[in-house]
A and B are shown apart, each in its own frame.
Chain A
Amino acid sequence: MTTEMTAGAGQARTYETAVERLEEIIARLDSNEPGLRETLELCGEGRALIEFAAGELEAVGRGLEELRLDDLIQRLEQEA
């Protein structure tokens, strides 16, 4: 799918996984357990996730595009 991108070690990232991971990070930070290094690493990862999620939101906020299935199929047949 076009909304997916490759992150880190080849793991597919989506808006949903990004938000899910972001929630984990915030919960971890709220626990006050991480040391300084882990805190800074989590904050860095969190900022990257926010950037990605914001990009996803931006992608579905640029303007409604309406297509017709018949046109799509016709176009595919012509390309074929």
Chain B
Amino acid sequence: MNAGLRAQHGVERPGGADAARAGIAGYPGPFAVGRYAAGLRERLRELARVSLIGEATGVRVGAGPNVYFELRDSDGAIPCAMWRTDFERQGLSPDELRDGVEVVAAGGCDFYPGSASASPRFAFRVQELRLAGEGDLLARLARLRRQLAEEGLFEPQKHLRRRALPRRIGVVTADGSAARRDFLAGLDRRGWRGTIVWAYAPVQDRRAAPAIAAAVRDLAAFAEVEAIVVMRGGGSIADLWAFCDETLCRTVALTPVPVISAVGHHVDRTLIDDVAAVCCSTPTHAADAAVEVDCGLARQELVAAARSLDATSREAVLARARVLVAGSRAPREHLDRQRRRLHQLARELRATTARGRAQRLEFQRRIALRVLQRKAGAAGRSAAGERRAIVSRSRMLAGAEGRARERRTAALTAFGAALRAHDPERTLERGYALALDERGEPLVTPAAVRRAGRFALRLAGGAVAAKALDPKEER
């Protein structure tokens, strides 16, 4: 405390009047602390007004007239206070000023001297405040982005085939948001009037990321959508932090349906933008990305293509027909020439054939005559030979017949003599008799005659009845 300050605030007390209140040698004073504190506040307020940058910690945005926080970096910290009216003038929401946010604070040193019942307090009185943007949040974001990139999670969505004309689109956004309105307007400009499945979810607080991830999963699983749009309006990185959530980003990366992100504005780059199939800056842009086809224009193009195809097919037929017509003349003339030539050849052939035929007939007649003569001569020679052979064979046959007759006569004579020699009648003629039983069977033994008793005795010239005698009579 210098002499000027002591004089300004009249804090110097003469010593001696009250020994108990005497000062300490070497140090001015003692001074009344309240007055000293007030003087100190004035001196501090005289210091230059500056802006500081650091990370906000210990943020207290209560119901009181002041907003308190500490501004800190690796080398030190300073307590800060800001009138609530000044804070609200910055346009910052209480959520934006929270622990970890790097801010730039403008103002100067201040000191609350306290009172008999209130504690004094030093603070850097902040009059202007803005978010610095970077800081710990962005560092964490950079680390997470690097990690997901190294895991290859930026790629799967990029490889999904996106429908240029989806019939059903799923949208995750806040209910009643301006983004919703802009998105619908964009689709309307495309002429697209298909089906939208709205999945409303909080998009800012700590409930946001899990709710958005669940909505994306459910849209892909249950709603049969062909594209999913996740969108939100602009804000600080703190506002958009839900869209940098690791779980949400992993969910989006592995979703089998293309996800189109439209979070924040041009300058904002959240992590979902990296993992999504397409990153858009606005909901309108997202509508264009979700429906790539301008339906009205596409209809016109289809009509033009149909006309073109009709014209092409008609022209193709006509062109070929013209070629055929042109080409058909030449063949006809060629055909006529060939026909005339053919007729000429035919006439020549007929003339040639008539001469040739007469010559050939004469030649054939001579040949045939010669052949017939040869055949007649041969036939005559052959007939005479045959005739001679027949005469000779007739003679041979007659001779053979006579000889055979003689042989058969001689044989018959011999047979007759033999038969007569064996004839029993000839034996009977010589005086023999033949004994026969009643049946005419010969009785050739004396025993047979005795058994028969009565028998016939056949003699030459007839038979007589006979009877065998009793053996006693025989004796």
Q: Contact residues of A with B, CB < 8 Å?
A: 1-3, 14-16, 19, 22, 25-26, 29, 36, 39-40, 43, 46-47, 50, 53-54, 56-57, 59-70, 72-73, 76
Known A-B contacts A40-B313, A68-B197; the reply to A60 vs B192 at CB < 8 A is: yes
Would you call A29 and B312 a contact (CB within 8 A)? yes
Contact check, A15 vs B219: say whether CB atoms are below 8 A apart: no
In the assembled complex, B468 has its CB within 8 A of some CB on chain A: no
> Are A40 and B316 in contact, with the CB atoms below 8 A?
yes
Question: Is B90 an interface residue, CB under 8 A from the partner?
Answer: no
User: What band does the interface of chain B fall in when counting residues whose beta carbon is under 8 Å from A?
Assistant: 35 or more
Q: Is B372 an interface residue (CB 8 A)?
A: no
For window 193-222 of chain B, which residues contact chain A by CB distance below 8 Å?
A: 193-200, 215, 218-219, 222
Is B222 in contact with A72, judged by CB distance below 8 angstroms? yes
Are B302 and A65 in contact, with the CB atoms below 8 A? no
Q: Which residues of A contact B184 (CB under 8 A)?
A: 64
A36, A43, A46, A50 — which one has the most chain B CB atoms within 10 A of its CB?
A: A43
14 extra interface residue pairs, beta carbon distance < 8 Å, beyond A1-B163, A64-B184, A68-B199: A3-B166, A29-B312, A36-B317, A57-B293, A60-B167, A60-B193, A60-B194, A61-B193, A63-B193, A65-B194, A67-B196, A67-B223, A69-B197, A72-B222
Cβ contact within 8 Å between B320 and A54: no
For residue B197, which residues in chain A have a CB less than 8 angstroms away from its CB? 67-69, 72
Given known pairs A36-B317, A60-B193, the reply for A69 and B312 (CB within 8 Å) is no
On whether the beta carbons of B199 and A3 are closer than 8 Å, the reply is no
Is B164 part of the binding interface, using a Cβ–Cβ cutoff of 8 Å?
yes
A39 touches B313 (CB 8 A): yes
Name the contact of A16 in the complex, choosing from B163, B193, B224 (C-beta under 8 A): B163
Task: Give me the interface of B with A, judged by CB distance under 8 Å.
Answer: 163-168, 170, 184, 187-188, 191-200, 215, 218-219, 222-224, 226, 291, 293, 295, 298-299, 302, 305-306, 308-310, 312-313, 316-317, 320
Which A residues are CB-close (under 8 A) to B196?
64-67
Question: Could you list 7 A-B pairs, sorted by A, with CB under 8 Å?
Answer: A1-B163, A3-B165, A36-B317, A43-B313, A60-B295, A61-B192, A76-B222
Q: Is the CB of A26 within 8 A of B305?
A: yes
CB <8 Å contact, B312 and A54: no
Interchain CA distance A72-B168 in the complex, whole Å:
13
A15 to chain B, nearest CB (A): 4
Docked complex Cα distance between A19 and B302 (Å): 9
Contacts of A2 in B (CB 8 A): 167-168, 224
A54 to B168, CA, bound (A): 17
Shortest B167–chain A CB gap in Å is 5
Q: Which residues of B contact A72 (CB under 8 A)?
A: 197, 222-223
